[in-house]
Amino acid sequence: MTIRPILIRGEPALARVAVPVIEFDDDLRRLIADLHETNTAANGAGLAANQIGDGRSVFVYDCPDDTGTRYRGHIVNPVLRTSEIPETMPDPDDDLEGCLSVPGEVFPTGRARWAAIDGFDGHGRPITVEGTGYFARCLQHETDHLAGKLYLERLVGRHARGAKRMLKRKGWTGPGHTWLPGDVPDPFGH
Q: Is the pLDDT of residue 94 over 90?
A: no
Contact, 122 vs 147, CB < 8 A? no
Q: Is the pLDDT of residue 92 over 70?
A: no
Binding site: what residues are annotated?
Answer: 99, 141, 145
pLDDT tens for residues 4-47? 999 999 999 999 999 999 999 999 999 999 999 999 999 999 99
CA gap 142, 148 in Å, rounded? 10
Binding site for Fe cation: what residues are annotated?
Answer: 99, 141, 145
The model's confidence at residue 95, banded by pLDDT at 50, 70 and 90, is confident
CA gap 157, 150 in Å, rounded? 17
Closest to 28 in 3D by CA, of 62, 72, 71, 74: 74
Q: Is the pLDDT of residue 93 over 90?
A: no
Query: Out of 11, 97, 105, 142, which one is annotated catalytic?
Result: 142
Q: Is the pLDDT of residue 72 over 70?
A: yes
pLDDT over 70, % of the chain: 97
Q: Which domains does the chain carry?
A: 6-179 (3.90.45.10)
Residue 142 annotated in active site: yes
Tell me how far CA of residue 76 lies from CA of 98, 103, 163, in angstroms.
22, 25, 30
